Homo-oligomer: A and B are copies of this chain.
Amino acid sequence: MMRPLALLALLASCAPATPPVIGLLTDYGTQDSYVAELKGAIYAVAPDARVTDLTHQVPSFDIREGAYLLGRAARQFPPGTIFVAVVDPGVGTARRAIAISTAKGRFFVGPDNGLFTRILEDEAPCVVHELDERRYWRDPGASTTFHGRDIFGPVAAHLSRGVAIDSLGPRVDSPVKLTTTAAVRDGEATLGEITHVDVYGNCSTNIPASLVGEGTFDVAGRKFPRRATYAGVPEGHPVLVIDSDGRVELALNMGNLGAAAGWKAGTPVRLIPAK
C-alpha cells in the first residue's frame, strides 16, 4: 500500500509552480517569421513556457529606443520574470551575448550593446554572465545572424526551467552602457531632451517632476500649462503633464505634438517659467 509520504511527494510534483513569464522585446517587426522562430525556439526547450509579446516594433537597430522601452516595461513585471530583448545591429560580431540577474529578481537575456543600460541602472546591483556555454544554445553550430532564435531564446527558456545563471558562462564585470544625458537647471530654465515620442505624439522628456514647479512653461515658443491630465486644457492646446514614468511630458490634448513640432527622441528642450 502506498504510504502517505509517497503520496505527498506525488502531490508536490503534481502542482508545479507556474513557470515565469518570458517577455519579448525586439526590433523584428511583426510581418516576418522572426518572432515566430524566436517563440518556437523557446517552446522547443520549455514546452510549458509562458511567452508574451512586449513589442517587436523598436525602430530597426535603435538601441537607445529599445533601452528606453525595456526600462519602462520591465519594472512593471513581478520578480522572476525573464526578458528576451533583441536590438542587435552587431549580431555575429565580437559583442558579447549576456544574461543579467537583477536586484529586483528579474532576468534579462540579449546582446551586450547598451540595450540594458536602464536595467543596469534601475535594478542595481546586477549580476551579468556571458553566454558561452553552447549546451544551452539551440544548436552548438549556431547561425551567426539570428542570435535571438539561436542563443537568447533558448537560454531564456533554460532559465525558466531553473537553470542557474552562473552555469551559462563566465561573469562579466563591465557590461556596455549607453551614455545618458541628465536634465539640468540653468537659472530659471530647465534643460532636457525628448526621450520618446509615443503613438499619440506625446513627448516624454528626461526631466524629473521634481525639477519643475507648478504654473505654465514656455517651450520653443509655445505655452504649456502644467495640468493633472491632458483634458485640463481645451482640445488641441499644449499641456505639460507628469507622465506615468514620473517625468515631464509635453503634449497637445487630443492632438499630436510630435508631428506638429517635429520633435523626436534626442530633441533638446528648454523649459522657462512663463511670466
Contact = CB atoms under 8 A, between A and B. Distances in A.
A34 B89 contact: no
A55 B35 contact: yes
Interface in A157-205: 196, 198-200
Interface in A37-61: 37, 39-41, 43-44, 47-48, 51-58, 60-61
A72 interface: yes
Contacts of A200: 60
A31 to B, nearest CB: 4
A170 to B, nearest CB: 23
Q: Report copies per complex.
A: 3
B80 A52 contact: no
A25 B32 contact: no
B229 A144 contact: yes
A1 to B, nearest CB: 6
A244 interface: yes
Given A36-B25, A76-B44, A241-B145, A52 B51 contact: yes
Contact of A23 (B36, B41, B70, B196): B36
B31 A199 contact: yes
A177 to B, nearest CB: 20
B56 A229 contact: no
Given A199-B29, A229-B91, A244-B146, A54 B34 contact: no
Given A2-B8, A13-B15, A244-B150, A35 B51 contact: no
A227 B213 CA distance: 56
A57 B37 contact: no
Contacts of A76: 36-37, 39-41, 44, 149
A199 B52 CA distance: 21
Given A18-B48, A44-B78, A47-B78, 15 more contacts: A7-B11, A21-B43, A23-B40, A28-B199, A31-B57, A32-B55, A33-B54, A40-B75, A40-B81, A43-B77, A92-B229, A92-B230, A93-B229, A144-B228, A145-B244
Interface of A: 1-2, 4, 7-8, 10-11, 13-15, 18, 20-21, 23, 25, 28-37, 39-41, 43-44, 47-48, 51-58, 60-61, 68-70, 72-78, 80-81, 89-93, 143-146, 149-150, 196, 198-200, 228-231, 241-244, 249, 254
22 contacts: A1-B4, A2-B8, A7-B7, A15-B15, A25-B36, A30-B55, A30-B57, A31-B58, A32-B198, A32-B199, A33-B69, A36-B73, A36-B76, A37-B76, A39-B52, A39-B54, A43-B81, A89-B230, A91-B231, A92-B229, A143-B243, A145-B244
